[in-house]
Structure 1
Amino acid sequence: MFHVYRTFWHLILTFHVPASCTDVNLLSSSPSGILVPGDLLIGAVIPIHIDKLYPTVTFQERPPTDICTMFRFENYQQFQALRYAVEEINRSPYLLPNRTLGYYVYDSCAALQSELEGTLWMLTGQSPAILNYCCRETPPLAAIIGHSLSTYSILMAHILGEYRFPQVSYFSTSSLLSDRNQFPSFFRTVPSDVFQSRGLAQLVLHFKWTWVGLIAPDDDYGHEGTEVLRQEIIKEGVCVAYTEYISSNFIFENIRNIANIIMESSATVVVAFSTDIYLIPVLEEMLKRNVTGKIFISSEGWSTSNVLSVEKYSPILSGSIGIAFHSSKIQGFHEFLNSIRPFNSPGITWSKLFWEEAFGCRFFDQTNISDLLNDQENSCTGEENLENVQNSFSDVSNLRASYNIYTAVYVIAKALDDLSLCQRLDGPLPGRECSDLDNFEPWQLLYYINKVQLNLSNAREVFFDKDGNPPAIYDIVNWQPGSDGTMKQVKVGSYDSRNSSGDVFGIKTTTIWWGTETQEVPLSVCSQSCPEGFRKATKRGEPVCCFECVPCDQGEISNQTNSVDCWKCPWDMWPNSKRNRCFPKPIEFLSFEDPLGIILTSTSVVSCLIPISIFNLFIQYKSTPIVRANNYYVSCILLVSLSLCFLCALAFIGDIQHEKCLLRQAAFGLIFALCVSCILAKTIIVVFAFMATKPGSGLKKWTTPHVPYMIIVICTFVQFLLCVIWLSVSPPFPQYNIEAKPGIIVVECNENSPFAFWCMLGYLGFLASVSFTVAFLARRLPDSYNEAKFITFSMLAFLSVWVSFIPASLSAQGKYTVSMEIFAILTSSWALVACMFLPKCFIILFKPDMNSKEKLMGKDRNRNM
C-alpha cells in the first residue's frame, strides 16, 4: 500500500501543470480555512467538524460544495490552543524575538479529500490549489501540524516527505509512521501505537484477563495497533477470542456481525483499538440487542471521547478502562477561552457556529428580510457569558489533544528560533553554513526539529527520538458515572516509558469503578482457574487459554492456581489429600509397640519357655528309659536350639539397624540348621541302630555316641559356611522402600543377594527333606527303636509351613512380609516341639507306668500274649 501511495503522488507532483499565479490574494481564506498573517507561517489541519455530507454529483454542473456536519467543541478548543500558543510566542521576548508567527488552519471534517485539499491549499497558497506550484513568495511556510487520522497522515507524509517538508502530528499514532525511510519529515507530539499497545497489554495482564476480544477499524491505525497488541498479549500467555475489523463504509452486515460475535463470545473483555467515529455504529447495534456485561478497554482514540460519554451508552461503556494521552494544564488557557467572542476570533464562521451550539441560539442576518420577520427571541447577541457554559470546550482540567497541538506549535517555534541562532560552521548547509530565517528551505528547518529540546511550563521535556517519536506518557482512565447521567473519565493510573526505576506501569485498583454490584475485578477467562492440586491440560484444537483441570497424578502436587505442571514430592514425602502440599511419609516397620508386634513378641517369649520347661523336665527324668532311649544329649541340644528358634523371631521386630539386618537372617539360618541337624542325627541313628542288629552288618561301627554329634557339626557347619560367604560378599543392609506402599516409607532389610537368602533357606529345606525321607522309610521299625514316626510328622509339618511361607511372603508387603516370616518361624518351631516332645512329656507326666524298660522294649505286650 505504501509503494502505491508513493508512486501515485510522485507522478502527480512531478507532472508539469501550466498555471498562472496572477491576482492571487494571499490573505484570502478558503471556504473551510483561515489565514492569520505573520512573519513566519505554520499550517494546521484540524477537523473542527467530524462528518461531511457529500451532495449528489450529476456531472451536468459544477459539483456543489460539501457540507460539514457535527461541530465538535473539543476540536474547536484544539484550534484555540493553537491560537493561544502562537499569541504566547509572539509575546515572548525569548522565543523568536522581533518575529511574529502566523498560521493557516483548515477544517478537514475528518474526511480524506478535505485533508488533502487543506494541505495543498497551505502548500500552494492558492484556493483551489495548484499542484506542484507555490503562489506565495513570502512569508515562508515553516511546517504543517496534522493530520487527524493515521491513514490520512500516512498519505500526507508521502507528499510532504518528497520535499522534506516538516509535518508534526498531534493525533496520528500508527507505528508505520516511525519508518524514517518512507516518512523522513514526519514527527508527532503523541506516542507511537507501539507504546500504546504495550500499555494496553500491561493493562490486560494487570487484571489477569486471559481471554479477550479485539475490534478495530479496517485501516492502518486499526491493523497496525491490533497487530502489536496481539503480539504483546500473546507473548504473555493471553489468548485472543476474536479479532474483528469495522468496515470504514459502515456496512450494516459487518456491524451486525461484530455485535453478534461480541454478544456470543465468552470473553468478557473487549479491547477496542479504534476512534469514536468507528465505534458508534457497533455500540448502537449492541444497544439494539441489549448486550451488557462486557468491559471495554479503550485505546487513546476514544478513551476521552465526549461523544461516547453520553448517558445513552452508559449501559455498555460504564466501567470501561483504557489509555489516554497524558493530560496537562496550560496556564491562563481557561481565561483565554472565556474571553472569546464571536467577532473577535479568527474564523468568524467557526466562532459563530460554536456560539450557536454552545448557547442554543442563532445569529440572524440583519440584511435578510425573512430573518427580520422571524421571531428573534432565540437570537444570539454575541455578549453571552462563556463562564456559565459547561461543556467539552470549557473543560480544561485534562487537556490532551489540545495540549499536543500547543506542544507542536512550541516545537516548531523552538526549531525556528534555533535556526535563527545558527552560528557559522554549525549549520545544515554545505560547509556547515547557516540559512536565513526569511528565506530557508523546509529540509533546513527539518535539521533543527530533529535536534529540538524543549522544556514546557509543566516541566515536561519534549524531544524526538531517531524515529520522530516523543517520550511515551499515558494516563489510565476509568469511565465512571457522573451526577448528570453522563460518564466521566477519571485518571486511575499512568504509563510512563521514561521512568528510570523500570516501574513504567502504575494503577490504583481501589479507585476503579467496574459497574458491578460487588465492584470486584471482572473475570475474562476461557476456562475457570485450576485450583491447587490440579494442572492445566489444553483442549485439542483450541487456544492455550482454553483448558481442562486434571488432578495431579499420584505422588505429585501443584501448590499454585493454573499450574501447567505437577511436580513430584521428595522421596521421603507424600501429598496430602488435596495434593497441594507435601508431608513427611509415615515410616512403617514392625515395632514392639505395634499391636501385631506385641502379639508376636509375646508369643515368641512365651514359646521359648516351653522348650526350656521340657529341657528342665528331661533333666529331672534323665534316668528314665523314655529320656535315655531318645538320646538324652541330642534331645537337650535340640531343646536349646528350639528355644533359640523362638527367640530369633525377636530379631525381626523393632527398629531396623545395620547390625540387626546383618545378623538376623544368618542367626535364623544357623539356629534352624542346628535344630534340623539334631533331628536328622536322631533319624539316622535310629536307622543305624536297627540295621546294626542284623547279623554281619557293617553299620555297627556307626552306632557310637560320637556319630550324631559329627552329623550335627557337619550339617550346621555347611550352613555356617553359606552364611559367612553371604555376609562377606553381599551382606544385607537397611533400606527405605518407597515402592512397596504408596505414601509410606517401609523400613526393611534388603537381603542384597536373594540367591544367598534362598540358598540358606533351601539348605534348611534340604536337611528337613532328608530327615523326612529317612524317617518316613523307618516308620515301620519296631516300637522299641521307633522315634521315626514323630520325626516324620514333625518334618512334614516343618516343610509344610515353609513351603506355604514362600507364596505368602511374595504376596505380602511392608511389615507384613516380616510378620509372615516370624509366623513361619514360630509355627515351624511349634511343629517340632509338638511332634517331637509333647508325646514324651505326656508319658512322663501323666503315664509314668509306660515309662519303663519293659514297656519301651515291648516285653510286657509279649507276656500278655
Structure 2
Amino acid sequence: MRNELQGTLWMLTGLSQEIPNYCCRESPPLSAIIGHSKSSFSMLMAHILGLYRFPQISCFSTSSLLSDRTQFPSFFRTVPSDEFQSRGLAQMVLHFKWTWVGLVASNDDYGFEGLKIMKDEITKGGACVAYTVYIATNQDNKNMPDIVQMIKESTANVIIVFSVDVFLFPLLDEMVNQNVTGKQFVASEGWSVSDILNNFSKILSGTIGFAIQSSNIPGFQEYLNSVNPYNTPGTTWSKMFWEEAFNCSFSQPENQTLNLSKTKKTCTGDENLEHVQNGYNDVSTLRSSYNFYTSVYVTAKALDDLSRCQSLDGALPGAKCSDLTNFGPWQLTHYIKNVRVKLRNGRQVFFHKDGNPPAVYDIINLQPESNGTLKQVKVGSYDTLNSSGEIFSLDTSSVWWATSNAEIPLSVCSQSCPVGFKKVAKKGEPVCCFQCVPCSQGEISNQTDSIDCWKCPWDMWPSGARDRCISKPVEFLSYVEPLGITLAATSVFSSLVPISIFYLFIHYKSTPIVRANNYSVSCILLVSLSFCFLCALAFIGYPQPEKCLLRQAAFGLVFTLCVSCILAKTVIVVFAFMATKPGSSLKKWTTPRVPYMIITICTFVQFLLCVIWLSASPPFPQYNIEAKPGIIVVECNENSQFAFWCMLGYLGFLASVSFTVAFLARRLPDNFNEAKLITFSMLAFLSVWVYFIPASLSAQGMYTVAMEIFAVLTSSWALVVCMFLPKCFIILFRPNMNSRENIMSKSTDTKQL
C-alpha cells in the first residue's frame, strides 16, 4: 500500500521524490493514469486523484465500491463492475433451474461483495443457498479438508466460485485428493480463463462462467511480429524474450539470460516472430489487453475532443479551446465523462454517471479435448447494450456437460412437484426444501412446482391427474338408465293389475263376495291403487320445475285416497255389526253415504295440506354438488321438510287408524269380513314406509329417488295382494265359496257357537 501511495504522489509531482500538493512538470501535462489492476490499490489511488479531479482509468478493478462518485469522482474503468457479473451469474443459475447451490468465495473484497449481491439475486429468484464458504487469501488452508468434505456431502451439485485463480487452487487440489466428482462449477471472470485450469480437467470439465469480453485489435498481431530487440523500448526485457522464444543467446558479455548454455546458437536479431507460435503473439482471445486498448483509445478521444472544444455541455469557460500542452486535469475529466466512441468490433464505449462502462461479458464453457486440456468455448453473452433487448443470451445446445447423459445437471433440494401437487415447505428448512402434497378434493394445479392449488368451478371437477377441470357428469334417475327403465316398466305393469281386478269385479259384481265388500268403495280403491303405481313415473326423468312441484303432492293425494277407502271399508264393517245390537244408535251411520263422506273428508284434509305447502314453500329443482363428490345430482328440493313430513305423517296417521280399527274388528262374525285382510295390508303398508325413512336418509343421488319409488310400488303391491288376492282366488278358483249358501252357512255356524 505504501508503495502505491508513493507511486501515485510521484506521478502527480513529476519528481523522483514525492511531494504532496506540488507539481514541477510544466509541459506536457500528465493527461491521465491508467491503472491500477487491483481494486484495493485503485481505491487508494482514486482517493488521492479525486482530490485533484485527475482522471484515472482502470482496466482490471471490478469492485462495486468504486462506483461511488462521492468518494471517487474522477475514477473510470473499461471493465464492468462486479455488480453486473454477480447479477448475470445469478440469472444464469436461475436459467438452468439450479435452485440448490453452494457458494464459494475468496476471503477478500472481491469475494465478499460479489457473493452478497449474487446471494440476494438468487434468493429473489426463488433459489436457495446450501452453504457459503470463504477460502483464505493467505497460505493458511488448514480447514480445507473440512470444507471439501462438506462440499462432497452436500446435495447441492452446483458450486458457484467467486474468486481469482490463485486462491482457488488449494480447494481444487483438495477436491482431487478426496476424489470429489459430479459437481458442476460456475466460474467468475477472476478464474474462468486461467491457463492453470488444465491441471484440474477431471473436475472442471463442463464448467460454465463469465469472462471479460474478447476481441481483436486491428494490426496488433503484425505489430507484435515486427518487434526487434534493437528497435523496441525496453531492450533488456526484449532480449530476454528473444532468447526464450528462439532458444538462442546474445554473444555480448552483458547477456541478460540467466541460464546460458554453450550449446545454444547465437541470436542475430533477424529472426522472424511470424514463424513462432506462443502466448506472446496469440491474439485470438484478447481480453485484458483489449481493455488496455480501450482505455488508451478513450483517453486519446477525450484529448482530441478537448483540443477541438467538442464538449457535450458547451465550450470551456471563456469560450477558448485548451492547448494540449497546457490544460487542467479536471478539464480532461469533463471530456472523459462525456466521451462516446465506437470501436472497430462494433462495441459502443461510454461511461455511465458512476464511471462504469456498459457491461459486456462472454459466457464460456470449459470443454475437454483429446489431449486432456480444457478448451474455452464461447456459448453466450451478457450484454447490457444488446440491440435485441436480450441482455442474457445463451446457446444451450453448444454447452458441454460432464453428466453421464450429457444433459443439464440437476441441483435441487427437493424434486420438482408434478402437476396435481403443491409444494409444502418443510419446517425449519429453506423454501427450496419441500414436500409434494396432492391437491385436495375439488382442487387442481396445472403447473409444476405449484405453491397452491385452485378450486374448480362448481360445475366442474378435477381430472384423474388433478391437472385440469372437467365438466361434472349430471346424475338423475332417467328413463335410459337400467334402474329407471326397470322401475318404469314395473310401475306401468303394476298399474294394470288393479285395472284387471277392477274389470274382474265388474264382471262378477252380482256375486256375494263382491257385494259383501262394498262394491263401489272397492272400485274407487282399485282405481286409486292403479294411480298409486303410476305416480311413481313422476319421480323418473329430468326434474323439471312442474314435475318437482306436483310429484309429491300427487303421491300424497293418491295414497291418501287409497288409505281413506280402506279406512271407510273398515269403519263400515264395524258400524254394520255394531248397529245390529238392540237399541244401537249407529244405524244412521250405516247408510251408503258414510264411506264417501269419510273418503272425501280424509282426502280433503290432505289436499288442504298440499295446497298450503305448494303455496308457501313450493318444491323446486336444484343442482346438488355435495351429495356425491365429482357429480352434479339434479334433484327436487322439497323446500320445506316440515311440510313434506306433515304430508307423509298424515298419510301414516290414516294408515295407523285403519290398522287399529281393522285389528279390533278382526273377530267379527262374517265369512267375508275384510278386517283381517285390512290388518295385514296396513301392517305391510306401515312397515314399508317405516323402513323407507332410514333407507332414504342413507341413500345418495338418484338412489334416494329410487328408494322412494320402491317404497311406493312395494306399499301399493302390499295393498293389492293383501286386500284383493284372496277374493280373486275365490272368484276364479273357488266359485263354490262365492255363494249365498256358503255365507249363510258360515253365519249359522257362528250363531251356534
Bucket of the pairwise TM-score, normalised by the shorter protein: over 0.9
Segment drifting more, 574-583 vs 522-531: 574-583
> Does 2:253 match 1:366?
yes
| Residue 197, structure 1, aligned to residue 86, structure 2 | yes
Residue 153 of structure 1, CA deviation = 1.8
Q: Does the Cα contact within 8 Å between 2:240 and 2:256 map onto a contact in 1?
A: no
2:518 is matched with 631
- AA aligned opposite 2:740: K
Contact 1:690 1:785 in 2 (8 A): no
Q: Contact 2:50 / 2:73 at 8 angstroms: preserved in 1?
A: yes
CA contact (8 A) 2:249 2:260 kept: no
Structure 2 Cα separation of the partners of residues 354 and 714 of structure 1: 131
* 1:248 lines up with 2:140 in the alignment: no
Partner Cα separation in structure 2 for residue 546 and residue 114 of structure 1: 51
Tell me how far 1:186 sits from its aligned partner.
0.7
Residue 676 of structure 2: SS of its match in structure 1? helix
Does residue 760 (structure 1) correspond to residue 647 (structure 2)? The answer is yes
CA distance in 2, matches of 1:323, 1:726: 82
- SS of residue matched to 1:252: coil
Q: Quote the Cα distance in structure 1 between the aligned partners of 2:429 and 2:481.
A: 55
Residue identity in the other structure for 1:268: N
Give the C-alpha shift of residue 743 in structure 1: 2.0
Structure 2 residue aligned with 1:506, among 382, 393, 397? 393
8 Å Cα contact 1:250-1:281 kept in structure 2: no
Match of 1:43 in 2: none
State the 1:799 CA deviation.
Answer: 0.8
- Kept in 1: contact 2:384–2:391 (CA 8 A): yes
Q: CA 1:819–1:364 in 2, change beyond 3 Å: closer, same or farther? A: farther
- The residue type equivalent to 2:747 in the other structure is K
Is the aligned partner of 1:298 residue 2:187?
yes
- Residue 713 of structure 2 corresponds to 826
What is the distance in 1 between the residues matched to 2:690 and 2:460? 37
CA distance in 1, matches of 2:55, 2:579: 135
Q: CA deviation at 1:135?
A: 5.0
Equivalent residue of 2:379, what SS?
strand
Question: What's the CA shift string for 1:95-119, capped at 9, x where partnerless?
Answer: xxxxxxxxxxxxxxxxx56544543
Matching residue of 1:228: 117
Match of 1:648 among 500, 524, 535: 535
Equivalence for 1:74:
none
Cα separation, 2, equivalents of 1:863 and 1:485: 129
Q: Which residue of 1 aligns with 2:35?
A: 146
Equivalent residues, number: 752
Query: 1:365, 1:371 within 8 Å by CA — same for their partners in 2?
Result: no
- Trace 1:301-380 onto structure 2 (pairs within 5 A): 301-308=190-197, 310=198, 312-355=199-242, 358=245, 366-367=253-254, 375-377=262-264
Equivalent residue for 1:520? 407
Tell me the distance in 1 between the aligned counterparts of 2:259 and 2:439: 87
Letter paired with 2:641? P
Preserved contact between residue 306 and residue 392 of structure 1 (Cα < 8 Å): no
AA in 2 matched with 1:245: Y
1:162 corresponds to which residue? 51
SS in 2 for 1:307: helix
Compared CA separation, residues 203 and 354, structure 1 to 2 (3 A): farther
Distance 1:206 1:367, change over 3 A: closer
CA distance change for structure 1 residues 705 and 156 in 2, over 3 Å: closer, same or farther?
A: same
1:799 match: secondary structure = helix
Comparing 142-151 and 566-575, the one that deviates more: 566-575
Tell me how far 1:355 sits from its aligned partner: 4.1
Using the alignment, how far apart are the partners of 1:601 and 1:566 within structure 2?
44
CA contact (8 A) 1:426 1:434 kept: no
| Correspondence 1:554 to 2:441 | yes
Q: Is the CA contact 1:529–1:561 (under 8 Å) kept in the aligned structure 2?
A: yes
1:749 corresponds in structure 2 to: 636
Shift of 1:407: 0.8
Inter-partner Cα distance in structure 2 for 1:362 and 1:114:
35
**TM-score computed with the length of structure 2 as normaliser:** 0.94
Counterpart of 1:838 in structure 2 is: 725
Counterpart AA for 1:259: V
Q: In structure 2, what is the Cα distance between the partners aligned to 1:261 and 1:373?
A: 50
SS in 2 for 1:253: coil
- Tell me the residue number matched to 1:123: 12
CA RMSD in angstroms, aligned pairs only: 2.6
Cα contact 1:424–1:432 (8 A) shared by 2: no
Deviation at 1:547, TM superposition (A): 1.0
The alpha carbon displacement at 1:170 in A equals 0.9
**Does the Cα contact within 8 Å between 2:671 and 2:747 map onto a contact in 1?**
no
- Provide, for residues 184-223 of structure 1, a one-character-per-residue CA deviation record: whole Å limited to 9, x for no partner: 1111112222222221122112211111112222222221
- Once the 2 structures are TM-superposed, how far is the Cα of residue 640 of structure 1 from its aligned partner? 0.8
Q: Give, in angstroms, the shift of residue 369 of structure 1.
A: 13
Map of 2:489 onto structure 1: 602
Deviation for aligned residue 1:847: 2.0
Q: Distance in 1 between matches of 2:312 and 2:259?
A: 68
Flag the 1:126–1:720 CA change in 2: closer, same or farther, 3 A: same
Residue 29 of structure 1 corresponds to which residue in structure 2?
A: none
- Cα distance change of structure 1 residues 350 and 553 upon mapping to structure 2, 3 Å threshold: farther
In structure 1, the partner of 2:65 is 176
Mapping for residues 262-281 of structure 1, pairs under 5 Å: 262-281=151-170
Summarize the Cα distance change of 1:378–1:578 in structure 2 as closer, same or farther, 3 Å threshold. Answer: farther
2:699 is the counterpart of 1:812: yes
Tell me the amino acid that sits aligned with residue 381 of structure 2: S
Q: Secondary structure at the match of 2:195?
A: coil
What SS does the corresponding residue of 1:708 show, helix, strand or coil? helix
When structure 1 is superposed on structure 2, of 181-190 and 266-275 the one drifting more is 266-275
Percent identical pairs in the alignment equals: 72
Q: Rate the CA distance shift 1:863–1:723 in 2: closer, same or farther, 3 A.
A: closer
Does residue 486 (structure 1) correspond to residue 373 (structure 2)? The answer is yes
CA–CA separation in structure 2 for the residues paired with 1:142 and 1:594:
98
Kindly tell me: are residues 725 and 385 of structure 1, through their superposed partners in 2, closer, same or farther at Cα, counting changes over 3 Å?
farther
* 1:365 Cα offset (Å): 6.2
Q: Which residue of 1 aligns with 2:304?
A: 417
State the Cα deviation string for residues 22-58 of structure 1 (Å, max 9, x = none). xxxxxxxxxxxxxxxxxxxxxxxxxxxxxxxxxxxxx
Say if 1:486 and 1:379 are closer, same or farther in 2 by CA, change over 3 A: farther
The separation in 2 between residues aligned to 1:462 and 1:495, in whole angstroms, is 16
Residue range with higher mean Cα deviation, 628-637 or 772-781:
772-781
Deviation, structure 1 residue 126: 4.2
Note the 1:659-670 alignment, pairs <5 A: 659-670=546-557
Deviation at 1:733, TM superposition (A): 2.0
Structure 1 residues 306 and 357: alpha-carbon distance in aligned structure 2, compared to 1, 3 A threshold? farther
Moved more, 144-153 or 831-840: 144-153
Cα deviation, residue 677, structure 1: 0.9
Paired residues for 1:566-645 under 5 Å: 566-645=453-532
AA paired with 1:329?
N
Amino acid at match of 1:531: P
> What amino acid does structure 1 have at the position aligned with 2:144?
I
Q: 1:608 to 1:530 in 2, by over 3 A?
A: same
Question: What is the deviation of 1:263?
Answer: 2.0
Secondary structure (helix, strand or coil) at the match of 2:418 reads: coil
CA distance in 2, matches of 1:700, 1:425: 130
Inter-CA distance 425–268: structure 2 relative to 1 (3 Å threshold): closer
User: Which secondary structure does the structure 2 equivalent of 1:770 belong to?
Assistant: helix
Compared with structure 1, are the counterparts of its residues 552 and 862 closer, same or farther at alpha carbon in structure 2 (3 Å cutoff)? closer
Cα offset, 1:483, TM superposition: 4.8
* Aligned-partner residue type, residue 315 of structure 1: K
